[in-house]
Amino acid sequence: MADFYEILEVSQDASAEEIKRSYRRLARESHPDANPGDADAEHRFKELAAAYEVLSDPEKRERYDRFGDAEGFDFGDPFGQGEGLGDLFDAFFGAGSPFTGGGRQRDRASSNRGPDLEVTANLGFTEALFGTATDVSVRTAVLCEDCDSTGAAPGTTPDTCSECSGTGEVRAVRNTVLGQIVSASPCRRCGGSGQVIPEPCSTCKGEGRIVTDKTFTVDVPAGVDDGSTLRLTGRGAVGARGGASGDLYVRLRVERDEHFERQGDDLVFRLTLPITQAALGAAITIDTPDGPEHMEIPAGTQTGRLFRARGKGVPRLNGRGRGDLVVVAEVEIPAKLDEESERLLRELAEHRGDDVAPPSDGLMSRIKSAFS
């Protein structure tokens, strides 16, 4: 027989955890269920099991290290010390192992769960800021009242499936070097429910549910943003024959505002100031989602200057305060001046000693200048 350490691809000083990790990895690759009809894989799997049975047991490993052979070892008890079949099945089937204390039962319990649903809700800008209640409609599955969700015609009841005896699964037993390995799969006759319907309900055709349109009122918390998703537990489609309901996911679409832009928890407002107010200062009022906001604009304000109103921004979803209202100054330069405004500006330029373009004499003057 080959060296057990070589079979498990570990060194002789490997720790118990390293041996276990390597064994689980190699066992997944060579397991007969993953390699149907492959005799080499089956032989490799048996070697791995035998090697691990020895090296996972401190006493057996010590004896193997001293004498260097497999004689005297008993491989007949797959549930002895070391990794049992529950651990092995966990490696392939997760918590669904028939040896792990009810995993299959949990799978059957959840197999009839209805599907999750998704719907989109449109909100106004201020509705998203301060929260609202909105109705959403969705086409979904609901309990059939005629059969009380059993799927059986009124006056009748479902029968226990004779194929699986009501367990919802069938099991197959295979003999291996590890002993008898049991594999389980959903019963084909009853679909894993454990019951058959001899006389299906005419309304729901034996499903125990019918499809209809339903409207829900959704409480939208303050501070949600465009693209946020709300989860309504148990508001999705109901499962077949009284199965649990799935969840309803509501994706939010928030309208843009023509004046305010959201940046995280802050609201940004771009304030256009004429050069007179920017230069001389002014007291202004801004209409905000909270109402009028009075602000003092100091003299000499430049484009890009920020003014911050603390706690006047977006409510935080965790309920702890709000962001800020950020006002960005944008100084407006008039594109066209009347004669009096131009005269006053030229006087200001002369007073400041600024070098400016000469006054225009009209269209004919500009044509003459172009040909001069």
Please report the pLDDT score of residue 250 as a whole number.
96
Q: 3-state DSSP: the chain helix, strand, coil percent, rounded to 5?
A: 30, 30, 45
Q: Does residue 298 register a pLDDT over 90?
A: yes
261 pLDDT above the threshold of 60: yes
Summarised one tens digit per residue, pLDDT across range 133-160 is 999 999 999 999 999 888 999 989 889 9
Look at residue 118 and tell me whether its pLDDT is greater than 90.
Answer: yes
- Region 19-31: mean pLDDT is 85
Cα torsion angle, 254, 256, 257, 262, sign: positive
**pLDDT tens-digit profile of 310-323?**
999 999 987 789 99
Read off the pLDDT band of 110 (50, 70, 90). low
Nearest to 49 by CA among 242, 193, 178, 156: 178
> Over 60: is that where the pLDDT of 97 sits?
no
Task: Give percent of the chain with pLDDT exceeding 90.
Answer: 48
**371 DSSP β-pair partners:** none
In the prediction, which pLDDT does 108 show? Answer: 44
In whole angstroms, how far apart are CA 39 and each of 23, 45, 50, 181?
19, 10, 17, 17
Mean pLDDT of 11-36: 83
* E strand or H helix at 116: none
Res 229 pLDDT > 90: yes
Q: At what angle do helices 39-55 and 58-67 cross, to 10 degrees?
A: 100
Each residue's pLDDT tens digit, 182-211 = 777 888 888 777 888 899 999 999 889 999
Strands 325-332 and 306-309: antiparallel
How many Å apart are CA 160 and CA 61, to the nearest integer?
Answer: 50
Give burial (CB, 10 Å; 0-12/13-18/19+) of 145: exposed
Higher pLDDT among residues 8 and 370, named by residue: 8
Residue 78: count of CB within 10 angstroms of its CB: 18
| Spatial separation of the C-alpha atoms in residues 151 and 196, rounded to whole Å | 9
pLDDT of 179 reads: 65
What's the pLDDT at 366?
Answer: 52
Task: Examine the pLDDT at 267 and tell me if it is beyond 60.
Answer: yes
Q: Which two tokens stand for residue 71?
A: 């004689």
pLDDT recorded at residue 292? 94
Amino acid identity, position 324: D
Q: Order of strands across the sheet with 229-232?
A: 117-123, 248-254, 229-232
Instruction: Return d(Cα 359, Cα 264) in angstroms, integer.
Output: 48
Which residue, among 43, 4, 1, 42, has the nearest Cα to 23 in the 3D structure? Answer: 4
